[in-house]
Structure 1
Amino acid sequence: MVITVENVSKSFPGTTAPVVALRDATLSVSAGSLFGILGPARSGKTTLARCVALRERPDRGVVRYDGMDTSKLTGRRLWGAQRQVGVVNPALRPERTVAGNVAAPLEHMGVEPARRKQRVGELLDVIGLSRSGARLPSELSPGQQRRVAVARALATAPSVLFADDPTAGVHGDESAAVLSVLDRARAELGATVVITTRDADVARRVCDEVALLDRGTVVESGTLLGLLGKPGSQLAEAVLPPLTTPRAHLATYDRAVDVVLVGFAAVGALLPEASARFDVDFTTIGGGLTRLGDTPVARFRLGVEGQRADAALAWIAERGAHVSTPMYGLRDVAA
């Protein structure tokens, strides 16, 4: 399902004046993507997610599902649209087993017992807890509880799944397991998944597309891989390895450049091949390696020496590398 947000604004009553949560937010979520809404606390992430999930009505603007204007929906039509959206609620019912929690939405819908049991079994397998159906939530770790909450939200096979800060209070390998379940929901169950987070590492690990919010405004949005070469991209800056360069290194080289390499072939071979082909030396003086999902990405600050440096840099740019000249300021240069 394609989700389009057009100029959405939302305010809430305050003590002395309305509190503005969203200001003309505009973005597009591709069908079948894992979309991240990234921003600091009180940036409007949760409010935007609730508007997109049809749990809040915007004051102005439109949320469209596959082109349908949801602001015009009321009564049974609104309820029908809301049923297409699963919202992860981390609060499990403590008196019910894991299987009982996952089955609860199906019971509410009147799904017959045999079909409920089959669906619950499928979802427990998806979240990696197929042997824990008879356990109580109190017997699970925080990460396992969060995975059960995801399974419960998926029980009715929604087209869209929302998870507000899904790794809050979950750390390490357990956090990775929660993100893996959300990725499986997208890849194996066909849901369009939207998450909110303050953590750029979460976006880096699982998101295809991201929007950056600041004080209720969408500052930037797009695919992570597509934003890597965009000059001044705040999202790229947030997910790429940081660059710091000791001052003493700057005068050592003929010139310095920042290079972003994407993919196994580029990260592994492009710079050595350019060095041999054009007889130039590249020395890494900052940056490092990371991954965006399954794709390896490198950002290096390079010292370059050799008469054919310009030709070498043009050659790697023609093969997909993003090459730029660093702006040496306090953020880029270490004392």
Structure 2
Amino acid sequence: MITLENLSKSFSANGNPVVALRDVSLDINAGSLFGVVGPAGSGKSTLARVVGLQERPDRGVVRLDGLNTGALDGRRLREIRRQVGVLDAKPELHAERTIAGNIASPLEQLGLDGPTRRTRVGNLLDLVGLTQRATQRPAELTAGQRRRVAVARALASSPSVLLADDPTAGIHSEESGAVLAVLDRARAELGVTVVLTTPDAGVVRRVCDDVAVLEAGSLIERGSVLDLITNPATRTAQSLLPAIETTRAQAAKYERSVDVVLVGFAAIGALLPEAATRFDVELATIGGGVTRVGDTPVARFRLGIRGEQAEGALGWIAERGAHVHTARTPQAIVAA
């Protein structure tokens, strides 16, 4: 468990103070893949450096499994730092060394013997899917492959926490999925707690269990990704749910319209047809679509409704886990 208590951090820029973090408090569960999302300047990278014990906060406490890291210094601080692997936004590999050699470099610094290093490097090459590239140099790899090498190197010393600062930065979209898959494997197979910062909410949608949203150094929102997207008012839902585009003419065909959020295969496939049959109402999808949060399908639909038992149908849907909201966002309606 990583616990952040009222973290604040400021810097000086051209003689003026710049607040990077403002009283940020978070709990990050052990073994989770936690996303910190926000625009440039929101404080994401500063938070990552503070959690990674690379910088001390001006105020507040970082606790790792209950240990107050602010009270540590010297040898004990160095020991705890080794429990946190860091993947920088722009990691540099040793151009003259092979891929295997790059991954082995932190193990050499730790003084591990050759057989132990080779076993560990082999396991990590398999984890990141680059076993066949072991003897190549970084220049022979794509940007996405080099980033996966950097992930393996950050994991070499067997940290319990991996901080990945904007891990898909500068990588083409077709390769970013492989990098995110490696982070997910590290969490699933090695039990590493992964803290990932990104300006791209789509990255959170693809791999994160929980998310914190930062803006101008302040914590705007936090919670389970699946919980947050069910409330259309949250920043997370606004970023991740399918957009609704429907015409006034379409909505005018029905007695009323509502927005529903459905989570899971069963809800998306069966809940609306069953409600329509059970209550003898018409439930027509007039906008929205389906996306995925990790492996879970999530739909946001705008429904046009006709029938005397419309209210009963909507209540029945809500009782079975759907989230029903009055359609009241004219910005999402395209004029006919």
Structure-2-length-normalised TM-score: 0.97
How far the C-alpha of 1:217 sits from its partner, in A, is 0.4
Gapped runs of 5+ residues in structure 2?
none
Which amino acid counterpart does residue 177 of structure 2 have in structure 1? A
User: Which string of whole-angstrom CA distances, capped at 9 and with x for unpartnered residues, describes residues 23-44 of structure 1?
Assistant: 1111111110000100011111
The more displaced of 202-211 and 222-231 is: 222-231
| Bigger mean CA deviation after superposition, 221-230 or 242-251 | 242-251
Residue 67 of structure 1 aligns with an amino acid whose one-letter code is: G
Q: Report the count of equivalent residues.
A: 333
Aligned to 2:154: 153
Question: In structure 2, what is the equivalent of residue 11 of structure 1?
Answer: 10
Map of 1:274-293 to 2, 5 A cutoff?
A: 274-293=275-294
TM-superposed deviation, 1:323: 0.6
The amino acid that maps onto 2:42 is S
Q: State the match for 2:29 in structure 1.
A: 30
Q: Distance in 2 between matches of 1:291 and 1:210?
A: 16
C-alpha distance in structure 1 between counterparts of 2:70 and 2:327, whole Å: 46
Structure 1 unmatched runs, 5+: none
Structure 1 runs of 4+ off > 3 angstroms?
Answer: none
Alpha-carbon displacement from aligned partner over 1:246-265 (angstroms, at most 9, x marks no partner): 22222221111110001111
1:296-335 correspondence runs (5 A): 296-329=297-330, 331-335=331-335
Q: Post-superposition shift, 1:231?
A: 5.4
The residue that corresponds to 1:121 in the other structure is 122
Amino acid at match of 1:120: V
**CA distance in 2 between partners of 1:92 and 1:203 (Å):** 26
Counterpart residue type for residue 22 of structure 1:
L
Q: Secondary structure of 2:133's match? A: coil
Per-residue deviation, 1:243: 1.9
Partner Cα distance (1:171, 1:312) in 2? 45
Equivalent residue number for residue 181 of structure 1: 182
Letter in 2 for 1:234: R
- Equivalence for 2:106: 105
Deviations 1:188-209 (A, max 9, x none): 0100001111111100000000
Equivalent in the alignment of 2:87: 88
TM-score by length of 1: 0.97
Counterpart CA distance in 2 for 1:169 and 1:305 is: 49
Deviates more, 1:119-128 or 1:248-257: 248-257
Which is worse superposed, 134-143 or 65-74?
65-74
Q: Report the AA paired with residue 269 of structure 1.
A: A
Q: Assess if the C-alpha contact under 8 Å between 2:259 and 2:303 holds in 1.
A: yes
Kept in 1: contact 2:229–2:240 (CA 8 A)? no
Taking the aligned partners of 1:75 and 1:16, their CA distance within structure 2 comes to 31
- Residue equivalent to 2:238: 237
* In 2: Cα distance, 1:243 partner to 1:41 partner: 27
User: Which 10-residue stretch deviates more, 15-24 or 226-235?
Assistant: 226-235
How far, CA to CA, are the matches of 1:76 and 1:280 in structure 2? 70
Report the secondary structure of 1:193's partner residue: strand
Identical residues among aligned pairs (%): 62
Tell me the CA shift for residue 283 of structure 1. Answer: 1.3
Note if 1:50 corresponds to 2:17.
Answer: no
Contact 2:164–2:197 (Cα < 8 Å) also in 1: yes
Q: Give me the whole-angstrom Cα distance separating, in 1, the residues matched to 2:11 and 2:198.
A: 22
Aligned to 1:217: 218
**Deviations for 1:31-86, whole angstroms, at most 9, x for unmatched residues?**
10000100011111000111111111000111111121111111111111101000
Aligned partner of 1:61 in structure 2 is 60
Residue 192 of structure 2 is matched in structure 1 by: 191
Q: Is 2:49 aligned against 1:21?
A: no
* Matches of 2:38 and 2:285, distance apart in 1: 31
2: CA distance between counterparts of 1:198 and 1:285? 31
AA at the equivalent of 1:184 = R
Instruction: Measure how far apart 1:319 and its partner are.
Output: 0.8
Aligned letter for 1:97? T
1:246-297, Cα deviation, whole Å (9 max, x unpaired): 2222222111111000111111111111111111111112210000000111
Partner-residue secondary structure (3-state), 2:132:
coil
C-alpha separation between the residues in 2 aligned to 1:72 and 1:119? 33
After superposition, the CA RMSD in angstroms is 1.0
The AA in structure 1 aligned to 2:9 is: K
